[in-house]
Amino acid sequence: MNDGRDFRGRARSGGRVDRHRFPPENAALPFSERTAMQRVFSGIQPTGIPTLGNYLGAVRNWVKLQEDHDCIYCVVDLHAITMTHDPKTLAQATREMAAALIAAGIDPTRSTLFHQSAVSAHLRLAWIFECVVRLGWLNRMTQFKDKAGKDRENFSAGLYTYPALMAADILAYHATRVPVGDDQRQHLELANDIAQKFNFDFCAGETFFPLIEPLILGPAARVMSLRDGTKKMSKSDPSDQSRINLTDDADTIALKIRRAKTDPEPLPSDTAGLEGRPEARNLIGIYAALTDTDHASVLREHGGRGFGDYKKILADLLVAKLEPIAEEMRRLLGDAATIDAILRDGAGRAEAIAEPIVREAEKRVGFLRV
């Protein structure tokens, strides 16, 4: 290798590969239509009702990004079958997730909203990426280790190669910005490694696949379980008490917050006082995200309060923010045909972007065209 690049295609002279040879933000459009808008891609699995963690860590940021980005949002049903799932409920869960996203503020006329299995380009690129990614890279993925634990022999190969499909989701659109919660950081680093190895192996180092910038935003990029401040809040946690679902009614929200695990001390007045108090930090972070502030200013306002008092205030705020979303979601679900039409339209638009990019990737790998 004497072209000044290492095996992952990074320039050896200390910098990254030249991002400007193939402008990533515009690459999917015909030259005549290229604009300055950066493309955003993100996904969510239809594996249950979205939680407050999904909302604060991801979806709320997706809504904001619509203002000045070309946004593509995907209900990732292909990822949802990497764990044991119920085939009788997957289609409805996919529809419900789409309804939740629209209810939360994703505007399907502005953003492209679709479900992953409707666009086969994801799978074609995922296969190529499975042949680019190295086993050693996949072995480092902490999400696989967390999900499979000591029983990895009994989990699907799909769960193991999951990050290659995720990289394909993003790169099939030449998206450059990916808003996610903190738990997805490692997957995005891997996606960049895959992109760079592809560029190095098949594009002579040209930036065909752009580098991705993770957008891990806000004071609630990792919302923790209400029962255990050291565990992530998750749709699939066996305990419903551990999470707030976007469909919970006011009484349920109030009860879950009242029962949330805390410690006996009152709230501190500065962030140093949150050290070693994960449950307090979590409840402060949730409030900060909902009010668009940060931990410090919430503590300036509420420092010194006991949890009994603070929990009431937090529950009221949660109800005020989440109830309109739950109501809109119920309304939308009364009209499944409209949701399906939105997803069909989104899939058509997504396919039109992904198809030429994935075809070009296939060409660069060297497949015969007849």
| Residues binding ligand TRP (CB under 6 A) | 41-45, 76, 79, 166, 169-170, 178, 180, 184, 187
Nearer to ligand AMP, 44 or 325 (CB): 44
Tokens at residue 297, please? 């200013």
Three-state SS at 57? helix
Part in contact with ligand AMP (CB under 6 A); list of ranges 14-22, 32-40, 229-237, 300-308: 229-237
Q: Which residue of the chain is nearest ligand AMP when measured via CB?
A: 57
> Given 197, 232, 256, 311, which residue is catalytic?
232
Nearer to ligand AMP, 5 or 187 (CB): 187
Q: Site for ligand AMP (CB under 6 A): which residue of 10, 26, 28, 57?
A: 57
Short-list 43, 18, 38, CA closest to 191: 43
Q: Is 153 exposed, middle or buried (0-12, 13-18, 19+ CB in 10 A)?
A: exposed
CB of 189 to ligand AMP, least distance (A): 14
Short-list 75, 84, 159, CA closest to 117: 75
CB of 70 to ligand AMP, least distance (A): 19
Determine, following the binding rule CB under 6 A, whether residue 181 of this chain makes contact with ligand AMP. Answer: yes
Determine, following the binding rule CB under 6 A, whether residue 94 of this chain makes contact with ligand AMP. Answer: no
Determine, following the binding rule CB under 6 A, whether residue 172 of this chain makes contact with ligand AMP. Answer: no
Q: Which helix (H) or strand (E) holds 215?
A: strand 213-215
Q: Is 261 a catalytic residue?
A: no
Q: Is 232 a catalytic residue?
A: yes
CB of 293 to ligand TRP, least distance (A): 25
Determine, following the binding rule CB under 6 A, whether residue 54 of this chain makes contact with ligand AMP. Answer: yes
Q: Site for ligand AMP (CB under 6 A): which residue of 106, 233, 332, 342?
A: 233
Determine, following the binding rule CB under 6 A, whether residue 65 of this chain makes contact with ligand AMP. Answer: no
Q: Which does residue 210 bind out of ligand TRP, ligand AMP, none, counting CB within 5 to 8 angstroms by kind?
A: none
Q: Site for ligand AMP (CB under 6 A): which residue of 19, 235, 295, 312?
A: 235
CB of 181 to ligand TRP, least distance (A): 7
Q: Which ranges of 140-249 does DSSP label H, i.e. alpha helix?
A: 142-148, 157-171, 185-202
Determine, following the binding rule CB under 6 A, whether residue 45 of this chain makes contact with ligand AMP. Answer: yes
Query: Maximum Cα–Cα distance for the chain, whole Å?
Result: 73
Provide CB contacts within 8 A for 348, sequence distance 6+. Answer: none
CB of 221 to ligand AMP, least distance (A): 6
Nearer to ligand AMP, 162 or 208 (CB): 162
Q: Is 231 a catalytic residue?
A: no
Q: What is the C-alpha separation between 10 and 14, in angstroms, rounded?
A: 8
Short-list 179, 136, 184, 177, CA closest to 163: 184
Whether residue 254 contacts residue 263, with contact meaning beta carbons closer than 8 Å, is answered with no
CB of 301 to ligand AMP, least distance (A): 23
- For residue 255, CA distances in Å to 220, 237, 287, 304, 326 come to 21, 18, 17, 23, 17
Could you give the angle at the alpha carbon of 23 between the alpha carbons of 18 and 27, nearest 5°? 135
Q: Which does residue 166 bind out of ligand TRP, ligand AMP, none, counting CB within 5 to 8 angstroms by kind?
A: ligand TRP
Nearer to ligand AMP, 76 or 332 (CB): 76
For tokens 């399907």, what's the residue?
Answer: 108
> For 73, which DSSP code?
E
CB of 93 to ligand AMP, least distance (A): 12
Rg (CA), the chain: 22
Whether residue 188 contacts residue 212, with contact meaning beta carbons closer than 8 Å, is answered with yes
For tokens 């095996």, what's the residue?
Answer: 7
Q: Site for ligand AMP (CB under 6 A): which residue of 24, 53, 108, 219?
A: 53
Three-state SS at 39? strand
CA atoms within 13 A on the CB side of 211: 16
Q: How many residues bind ligand AMP (CB under 6 A)?
A: 16
Q: Which does residue 60 bind out of ligand TRP, ligand AMP, none, counting CB within 5 to 8 angstroms by kind?
A: none
Q: Which helix (H) or strand (E) holds 71?
A: strand 70-75
Which residues in this chain contact ligand AMP in the complex, by CB under 6 A? Answer: 44-45, 53-54, 57-58, 180-181, 183-184, 221-223, 232-233, 235
Write out the catalytic residue numbers: 147, 232, 235
